Chains A and B, each alone.
Chain A
């Protein structure tokens, strides 16, 4: 269940390690947000492992165990195809987006896999229109720790804003 509370860690984690991991996830999220907020969509797939999975899921579908995603990418190829489509084939009004990511929590660390979650808010600004709330939701993540670098093995974005305003162009 994507919406269930995170289970306690399989093995107890040292507090100092937990803090270091949380800081690493926070840094990662800052970089992720900055890249998307600059509109550099073609750099987005690089935040994932080669087999990385990305899903954008309406909360009511998650609650009802319905598997449909608003966006879903399985692996680098699909992530790159999504980025290419946004950069080259989709028609949409120019826009600014701004991510606010908060309440980062590391809930498990095992075998180089960091399980974490965070809340996010995305504001969207269109030309000659007031800024509006595009999404609020929760990231449920699994990172692979390689040396001191994190990469997303899995990012599930479960959004509360079920009634989407017009459309979502850039992945949250």
Chain B
């Protein structure tokens, strides 16, 4: 639960003056200013990340034991996710209640309490203030006011929910359950990655992206680019335009899943490859273990790219499992945190297989590089050139999930975005 004693619920009214900004009438047009304007960025923090959203903050396997914690973020706000002695998971702001110090400066660790280094105010694993030095001053002089109450100076705590080992947090208590937030179809997709089996953490990568955070959500809602930008996928047969594919969204249009079923063997006979100029038909990997598919799931799909509004991408591709957390850092930059895992009961060979396969993703990955570069190029265009509207015109909004050369999921995200933002 959140503690509102000194932290009122973020207010949704009283936004900045945006009267110079006009959303175009054509529903396929998206204006540049949502990616570059500081006022929009600030409003997003208040209305989206501090609004009625569930934000991914950690995997429980990152804090297996009482006292374990990690640094994380909700929107741009640094937080700590910690497990207390009873095993409960808490999330609270990484900002001392005294003079505002961002006191936790380690990626991960284990502790009994958090001590702010500046004046040693001490917090327990739920973020509650437990002691303050020189409370009565020295020799009865100075110190805290007589009516100072420790429990009125706890760290700002967040509403936390866990499903199948994944931790989500919200600034709001008046929010639907995580299950209702996802809706039945997306929950079903979520459960194909997190089926409740215990996980095994393999590692974490971080990179900055010189782009607006929404571009990353768009990227995973954009099946059009998958076979065109990612030559590695098409060259080695992981994802080809003729594959069985679908893209679906939740009822509000804010979450989505792009599913793909990889064909047996190589895609030589796929007629749609003629549209792809970068296709290298004759290529074989010298070491095909990197793309080998080991059957482990009872799923018709070999990849599921799930976007959960506003800050999570879940990816299951072949045998790679990963969560990508989006951390906005101003209108023109964000950080991406890639948390990679397997299942606790994976044997050595499966661990090595997943690690090998992870060459595909991440900020040094065969296709991770393509997306990171493409997003930088988009932001370069918006920052360097004359403002205008981008277009997302492909496909129709009424079409079913099997139509995949479409921008439908991008448009539905922005319909929802405009509602949340009041734009």
Contact = CB atoms under 8 A, between A and B. Distances in A.
Asked if A and B are interacting partners, one says yes
Interface of A: 56, 58, 60-61, 64, 66-78, 80-82, 84-85, 88-93, 162-169
Interface string B330-368: 000001000010000000000100011011001110101
Interface stretch (B184-192, B205-213, B392-400): B205-213
Given A61-B203, A88-B231, 9 more contacts: A67-B355, A69-B203, A70-B205, A74-B356, A75-B287, A78-B289, A89-B280, A91-B370, A92-B373
Nearest to B278: A89
B209 A67 contact: no
B202 A66 contact: yes
B377 interface: yes
A166 B204 contact: no
A110 to B, nearest CB: 27
B21 interface: no
Contacts of A82: 359
Contacts of B107: 60, 64
B207 A167 contact: yes
B229 A91 contact: yes
Main secondary structure of the interface of B (DSSP, over half): mixed
A67 B232 contact: no
Contact of B204 (A66, A78, A81, A91): A66
B373 A91 contact: yes
A67 B368 contact: no
16 contacts: A58-B203, A67-B202, A67-B355, A69-B355, A72-B358, A82-B359, A92-B373, A93-B373, A163-B207, A163-B208, A164-B205, A164-B364, A166-B210, A167-B363, A167-B369, A168-B364
A90 B364 CA distance: 10
Given A56-B364, A70-B364, A89-B231, A165 B207 contact: yes
Contacts of A56: 364
Given A58-B203, A93-B373, A166 B359 contact: no
A105 B208 CA distance: 33
B94 interface: no
Given A66-B201, A70-B364, A88-B231, A163 B376 contact: no
Contacts of B283: 84, 88
Contacts of A85: 232, 366
A111 to B, nearest CB: 26
Contacts, number: 125
A81 B203 contact: no
Interface of B: 107-108, 201-210, 229, 231-232, 235, 278, 280, 283, 285-287, 289-290, 335, 340, 351, 355-356, 358-359, 362-364, 366, 368-370, 372-374, 376-377
B329 to A, nearest CB: 10
A56 B363 CA distance: 11
Contact of A163 (B201, B206, B231): B206
A165 B201 CA distance: 24
Given A76-B286, A168-B363, A68 B204 contact: yes
Contacts of A169: 364, 369
B70 to A, nearest CB: 10
A72 B355 contact: yes
Contact of A166 (B205, B207, B290): B207
Contacts of A76: 286
Nearest to B287: A77
A120 to B, nearest CB: 16
Contact of A90 (B286, B340, B370): B370
B205 A91 contact: no
B232 A69 contact: no
Contacts of A89: 231-232, 235, 278, 280, 366
B397 to A, nearest CB: 30
Contacts of A81: 285-287, 290
Contacts of B374: 91
